[in-house]
C-alpha cells in the first residue's frame, strides 16, 4: 500500500442488522512511518472501535485494513496474532501487570516476539532510561505515581520497536503536568523510532500535538478538530 504502515479503505463496522448499529462508515485513513494522527469525537462516536479495527483487534464488516503490508481482513486468528506483534498499545489506564516490576512489564512485548533475553532486557532498560525511570525498574506499579505508571506504559509500547502505536486516551487519567510530560515522550519517541501513531482523545491540547487532527462524527472522519 505505497509504503503505508496503516491503510484503511472503505471500512465499515456494524453491530447487529439495524441501521442504528452502524458505528463506522466508509473510513479511509493512511499513515506512513513517523506520521501521527489524532482522532477526536464525542463519547460513543466509535473512536475506540476505529483503533481496534486498525490493529486487527476487531473485524471489519466491510472494507480492508492493511498493517505493514499485510491485509488483516484476509487473515485467520493465528495470523492476526502474529501481525499484532507489530503494534504498541497505550491505554488511558496503563494496564500494567501489578505482580511484575516496571522492567518486567516493559519486557513483555519483546518476550512475546521471542527476542533473545539479553537484547530484550537491554532494550527495556534503555526505554526506561528514555522515559526518565532508569532507577525504577525494580519497582512495582503500586509503588509508582500515575504519571510514572503511564511512562512505563509508553516505554512498554515502544520497547519492541513496533510499526504502529495505537493510543486510546493515553493521558486521560493524568493531571496537566503529567499529561504534557507523557505527550512529550510519546511524540518524541515516535518521531525518533519512525513508528506511525494513531491516537484517539478528548484532549484538544494533546490532539494538537499530532501532525493531523481528524474528527469522527456520524461514523465518518472529517479533517480538523472539534468545533
Task: Check residue 19 and report its DSSP letter.
Answer: G
Q: How far apart are CA 85 and CA 92, in angstroms?
A: 20
Bigger pLDDT: 62 or 160? Answer: 62
Is the pLDDT confidence value at 41 over 70? yes
The CATH number of the domain holding residue 89 is 3.40.50.300
Is the pLDDT confidence value at 68 over 60? yes
Q: Supply 193's cell numbers.
A: 523510532
Residues of the domain holding 178: 32-49+81-223
The reply to whether 135 falls in a domain is yes
Q: What is the mean pLDDT of residues 42-50?
A: 86
Q: Supply 180's cell numbers.
A: 504534557
pTM for the complete prediction? 0.83
Inter-residue contact 81 to 41 (CB < 8 Å): no
Residue range 78-104, pLDDT digits in tens: 988 888 888 888 876 667 888 999 999
Residue range 205-219, pLDDT digits in tens: 889 989 999 998 888
- Number of independent structural domains in the chain: 1
Look at residue 90 and give its three-state secondary structure: strand
| DSSP sequence for 171-219 | TTTS-HHHHHHHHHHHHHHHHHHT-EEEEE-S-HHHHTTSSEEEEEETT
Amino acid at each position: 500500500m505505497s509504503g503505508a504502515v496503516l491503510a484503511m479503505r472503505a471500512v465499515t463496522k456494524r453491530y447487529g442488522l439495524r441501521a442504528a448499529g452502524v458505528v463506522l462508515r466508509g473510513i479511509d485513513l493512511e499513515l506512513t512511518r513517523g506520521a501521527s494522527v489524532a482522532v477526536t469525537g464525542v463519547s460513543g462516536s466509535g473512536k475506540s472501535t476505529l483503533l481496534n479495527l486498525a490493529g486487527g483487534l476487531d473485524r471489519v464488516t466491510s472494507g480492508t485494513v492493511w498493517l505493514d503490508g499485510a491485509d488483516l481482513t484476509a487473515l485467520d486468528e493465528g495470523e492476526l496474532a502474529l501481525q499484532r506483534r507489530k503494534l504498541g498499545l497505550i491505554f488511558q489506564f496503563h494496564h500494567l501487570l501489578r505482580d511484575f516490576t516496571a522492567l518486567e512489564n516493559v519486557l513483555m512485548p519483546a518476550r512475546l516476539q521471542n527476542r533473545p533475553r539479553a537484547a530484550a532486557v537491554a532494550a527495556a532498560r534503555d526505554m526506561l532510561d528514555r522515559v526518565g525511570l532508569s532507577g525504577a525498574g525494580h519497582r512495582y506499579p503500586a509503588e509508582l505515581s500515575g504519571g510514572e505508571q503511564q511512562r512505563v506504559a509508553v516505554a512498554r509500547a515502544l520497547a519492541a520497536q513496533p510499526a504502529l502505536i495505537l493510543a486510546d486516551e493515553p493521558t486521560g487519567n493524568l493531571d496537566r503536568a503529567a499529561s504534557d510530560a507523557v505527550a512529550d515522550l510519546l511524540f518524541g519517541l515516535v518521531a525518533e523510532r519512525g513508528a506511525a501513531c494513531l491516537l484517539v482523545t478528548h484532549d484538544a491540547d494533546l490532539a494538537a500535538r499530532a501532525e493531523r487532527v481528524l474528527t469522527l462524527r456520524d461514523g465518518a472522519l472529517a479533517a480538523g478538530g472539534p468545533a
